[in-house]
Structure 1
Amino acid sequence: MKIVPSEKMSLFEPSIFGDLKVFAKEQQAKGMKLIDLSLGSPDIAPHEMLRNHLSELSKKPSSYGYTLAASNEFKSAVARYYKRVNQVEVDPSTQVIQTIGSQEGLVHLPIAFCDPDDYVLTTNPGYVAYAAGISLAGAKPYYIPLDENRGFVPNLQAIPEDIAQKAKLLILNMPGNPVPMSPSIEYFKEVVEFAKKYNVLVLHDAAYSEFYFTGDRPISFLATPGAMEVGIEINSLSKSFSLAGARVAYIIGNAEAIKIMSRLKSNLDFGIFDPIQSTAALALDHAEEITANLRSTFAERHHVLMNGLKDLGWTVAPSNGGMFVWAKYPYDINSVSFAFKAIEQTGVVMVPGTTFGSQGEGFMRLALVQDVELLKEAVERLKTLSI
């Protein structure tokens, strides 16, 4: 029997993350000590309070039924968190929905709002899940240039009028992955004005909202006047609370958009394990206590890696937050080849910029997921590159 994939599968190429992992393991088998800065998986364990809470609830026989959707406990905790840290008030019963991690929510969301051939506005480079979701919906991506002179924020003025008229969805991510640009209230006001003018739903991916190293926390898009009329925000507990494997996130904002997404979700899954939901609620209610250590740790890592790469002659995108460093290397070689050369010669595993779009050529994304001493060692090793 011949197993034949659907035509839609032609849209999904094998992930380069797998190829990097295989090659890195081959080098490791030859004696190379690896320093893996590729995957943005938190290396800091969840707070002991969260581990204990999850453990105790998991012992209860009553914990193992279908939850079907987000619990009232979880939705209320999200609403309290947003009011406390972002000064944004929402109705937990109508303006909060849970997703099985932000990846699942991001990939499925365009299906709920976009018809085939509708345009989705996003960035190049941008997080890989956006492209996957657009493809599943049969929509068309339009990639907004990242304006380096404005701190790599997407330039809405560069979107052609005919594209803007056909757009249904605008996806933003600040601080971003892979480019950790920071938002401003002035920029978000521009986004709201654009969305109202063209009747475009805004999705702001706020997965790195707790990763800020100087000054005030990043602004929630929903804190912008008028944003609740045009937008929703997705956030995850994966990074900020080191609950990546638990797969728990949420979308918050415009009630009608949440209602539509809820209808889709009710046909896709039966909810998240209740002990995970309760643990996530506990994390949100103790966010300030838990995330203070995260920021202190990542701020130091951020400083060491950014300055180290600059000293090597790399051009580093300026940032005051996020979980990654986005940097242009000073060699005449394409980014995929450079990534494999770096592993082979130094054992430092990075993600080539073209993973996130054609405009990532010449760049590397480095995740701040190793301790300071290993980051210093990574910089020293990169000094020895022979290209």
Structure 2
Amino acid sequence: MYSQRLENLPPYLFARIDAMKARKRKEGVDIIDLGVGDPDLPTPAHIVEAIVRAVKEPKNHHYPAYEGMAAYRKAVAEWYGKRFSVSLDADREVLALMGSKDGIAHIPEAFVNPGDYVLVPDPGYPVYKTSTLFAEGKTHLMPLTAENNFLPVLDDIPRDVLKKAKLFFFNYPNNPTAAIAPKAFFEEVVDFARDNDLVVVHDNAYSEITFDGYKAPSFLEIDGAKEVGVEMHSLSKTYNMTGWRIGMAVGNPEILAGLGRVKSNVDSGVFDAVQEAGVAALTGSQQCVADACAVYQERRDVLVKGLNDLGFDVRAPKATFYVWMPVEDCMKTAAQFLNEAGIVVTPGVGFGESGDGYVRFAITRSVERIEEALERIRRIAP
């Protein structure tokens, strides 16, 4: 009945986790969900007020522009200028997205022919691989290991793969490992892309969720980055807008034009009222972002200390709202946490083979719930 392409598609990790949670809730279990990275903090009031005003405007009820409202693209360009000192032409170098997943899912269709390789971090956001599959490309997995600070070793990629490679996906601050990358690595990626004629796609959705004074860079800050690639970004994590579905792709205008051609054939753009709310988010006070980071940092500190006190070996991340914990058997640990303690964590192998031996916690629940989770783990710990 289904196409071969769909049959080859693995079950989406978080859909499987949702089904497991639903089953345990039916059994009456009080679930503490530290699995999926969906912020529990509310969207800031000034953004909500902006969409309420915009929804009441009849002009916003028509088809939006495929590339995004001029005001939204201008706000994105100005935000990049203030935040990263990156200069963007709002007309040519900014494209509105329905969240960064939208851009990641569609960009291989613009550049990958059947049999071409796409270089994908492992572990990594599952959509890097599934979008490649839909474009009938092949994924070459780049292992992220603790020994290399969860950065891919570019020299390990075989020459025969590079000859047929078209796209290079990477993501720092990183999901799922919470690792950060130095600018020197970004510079290495630029040179690597030039040498091998690659389109670079940097997924920077977590740049604003940072701790201990760390400020995450943009890939586009690097000289030459705009010549070889684009950056996907999102308002989802920064402003607690995961359900609103709004983001942006920025950078090389030719690459964006290719992505735009795909999108103009498969969707009709982002609802203008949501884009007006995006303008309010990007141009308004950023204190709400700092406040959210303070909340996440407190949760991080409680979770990391608690896990280490229980005998686990956990490092406090500098960015993202994830904690990446080494374990002997990730599937066994995740199942034990769920079945014996009612705690949802994500098995690392769900993000790729190199994620085996880790579980990911999302610090998207209150300190009180995290403390309750730690107490439950203490009770089942050997």
Q: What band does the TM-score fall into relative to the shorter chain?
A: over 0.9
Which runs of structure 2 are paired with 1:153-302 in the superposition (5 Å)?
Answer: 153-286=151-284, 288-302=286-300
Show the counterpart of 2:129. Answer: 131
Deviations, residues 48-105 of structure 1 (Å, cap 9, x unaligned): 1111111121122232110032000100000000000000001000001111111121
Amino acid corresponding to residue 341 of structure 1 in structure 2: Q
Moved more, 175-184 or 29-38: 29-38
Return the alpha-carbon distance in structure 1 between the equivalents of residues 166 and 12 of structure 2. 27
**3-state SS of 1:98 partner:** strand
Amino acid corresponding to residue 286 of structure 2 in structure 1: E
The structure-2 alpha-carbon separation of the partners of 1:240 and 1:310, relative to structure 1 and needing over 3 Å to count, comes to same
Check the 8 A contact 2:35/2:362 in 1, yes or no. yes
Deviations, residues 262-293 of structure 1 (Å, cap 9, x unaligned): 11111111111111001001101125222111
Deviations, residues 207-233 of structure 1 (Å, cap 9, x unaligned): 001011022311100001111111100
2:35 paired residue among 26, 33, 38: 38
Deviations, residues 21-74 of structure 1 (Å, cap 9, x unaligned): 333333334342211011111111111111111112112223211003200010
Return the alpha-carbon distance in structure 1 between the equivalents of residues 365 and 316 of structure 2. 20
Return the alpha-carbon distance in structure 2 between the equivalents of residues 166 and 23 of structure 1. 39
**3-state SS of 1:141 partner:** strand
User: Where do 5+ consecutive residues of structure 1 fail to align?
Assistant: none
Return the alpha-carbon distance in structure 2 between the equivalents of residues 255 and 173 of structure 1. 21
Q: TM-score, normalised by structure 1?
A: 0.95
Show the counterpart of 1:354. Answer: 349
The structure-2 alpha-carbon separation of the partners of 1:318 and 1:304, relative to structure 1 and needing over 3 Å to count, comes to closer
Show the counterpart of 1:79. Answer: 77
How many angstroms does 1:295 deviate by? Answer: 1.1
How many angstroms does 1:380 deviate by? Answer: 1.6
Show the counterpart of 1:320. Answer: 318
**3-state SS of 2:194 partner:** helix
Which runs of structure 2 are paired with 1:6-155 in the superposition (5 Å)?
Answer: 6-69=3-66, 70-155=68-153
Return the alpha-carbon distance in structure 1 between the equivalents of residues 149 and 11 of structure 2. 32
Moved more, 373-382 or 271-280: 373-382
**3-state SS of 2:207 partner:** coil
Return the alpha-carbon distance in structure 1 between the equivalents of residues 192 and 211 of structure 2. 30
Show the counterpart of 1:343. Answer: 338
Query: Quick check: 1:380 aligned with 2:378?
Result: no
The structure-2 alpha-carbon separation of the partners of 1:263 and 1:25, relative to structure 1 and needing over 3 Å to count, comes to closer
The structure-2 alpha-carbon separation of the partners of 1:287 and 1:197, relative to structure 1 and needing over 3 Å to count, comes to farther
Count of residues paired in the alignment = 381
Check the 8 A contact 1:151/1:318 in 2, yes or no. no
The structure-2 alpha-carbon separation of the partners of 1:356 and 1:175, relative to structure 1 and needing over 3 Å to count, comes to same
Deviations, residues 98-135 of structure 1 (Å, cap 9, x unaligned): 11111121111111111111111111110011111010
Check the 8 A contact 1:181/1:318 in 2, yes or no. no
Return the alpha-carbon distance in structure 2 between the equivalents of residues 175 and 16 of structure 1. 21
Return the alpha-carbon distance in structure 2 between the equivalents of residues 162 and 80 of structure 1. 41
**3-state SS of 1:313 partner:** coil
Deviations, residues 305-356 of structure 1 (Å, cap 9, x unaligned): 1222222232335520012111112x5xx42343222111101111111110
The structure-2 alpha-carbon separation of the partners of 1:370 and 1:318, relative to structure 1 and needing over 3 Å to count, comes to closer
Moved more, 94-103 or 140-149: 140-149
Q: TM-score, normalised by structure 2?
A: 0.96
The 4+ residue runs of structure 1 with deviation greater than 4 A are none
Return the alpha-carbon distance in structure 2 between the equivalents of residues 134 and 224 of structure 1. 26
Amino acid corresponding to residue 98 of structure 1 in structure 2: A
**3-state SS of 1:153 partner:** coil
How many angstroms does 1:157 deviate by? Answer: 1.8
**3-state SS of 2:266 partner:** coil
Return the alpha-carbon distance in structure 1 between the equivalents of residues 253 and 301 of structure 2. 40
Check the 8 A contact 1:283/1:290 in 2, yes or no. no
Check the 8 A contact 1:179/1:317 in 2, yes or no. no
Amino acid corresponding to residue 59 of structure 1 in structure 2: K
Return the alpha-carbon distance in structure 2 between the equivalents of residues 176 and 363 of structure 1. 15
User: Where do 5+ consecutive residues of structure 2 fail to align?
Assistant: none
Identical-pair percentage: 34
Return the alpha-carbon distance in structure 2 between the equivalents of residues 18 and 119 of structure 1. 27
The structure-2 alpha-carbon separation of the partners of 1:287 and 1:362, relative to structure 1 and needing over 3 Å to count, comes to farther
Return the alpha-carbon distance in structure 2 between the equivalents of residues 322 and 261 of structure 1. 27
Show the counterpart of 2:364. Answer: 369
Show the counterpart of 2:302. Answer: 304
**3-state SS of 2:141 partner:** strand
The structure-2 alpha-carbon separation of the partners of 1:313 and 1:157, relative to structure 1 and needing over 3 Å to count, comes to farther
Amino acid corresponding to residue 233 of structure 2 in structure 1: N
Return the alpha-carbon distance in structure 2 between the equivalents of residues 289 and 278 of structure 1. 19
**3-state SS of 2:193 partner:** helix
